[in-house]
Amino acid sequence: MKRLLTFICLAALTLLFMGNQPAFAADIASGSKVFSANCAACHMGGGNVVMANKTLKKESLEQFGMNSEDAIIYQVQHGKNAMPAFAGRLTDAQIEDVAAYVLDQAAKGWAG
C-alpha cells in the first residue's frame, strides 16, 4: 500500500511539473532563413514592394496592429490582399520563427 501511495504521488508530481514547462522560444536564426527564402522578395529590409505604406518597420507594424507574434503568425498563415497564405507551405514552427524574426528586426530598425 505504501508503494502504491508513493507511486501515485510521484506520478502526480511528474504530471504537475510536465504541464508547467515553458514553451520553446522561437528561433530567430531559423526565422531569418525562412524570411530570406519566402518573404524577402517583397519585404527586403523590412519594406513592402506591393504596398509601400505597409512595411515591416516598427511604426507600421504598430499602426496596423501587427506588433505581436500572434498577429504576424495569423497574417503569414492566412495571407491578405496580395500576400499569399503560407499555412501548408511552411510549418507552424517556421511561421513562429519568422514572426519572431520580423519583430526582432523591427525592434532593431532592420539594421541587421
Name the binding residues for heme c: 39, 42-43, 83
Annotated binding site: 39, 42-43, 83
Mapped to the 3 state alphabet, what secondary structure does 30-73 carry?
Answer: HHHHHHHHHCHHHHHHHCCCCCCCCCCCHHHHHHCCCCCHHHHH
Residues 78, 87: contact at Cβ < 8 Å? yes
- For residue 50, give the C-alpha cell: 506591393
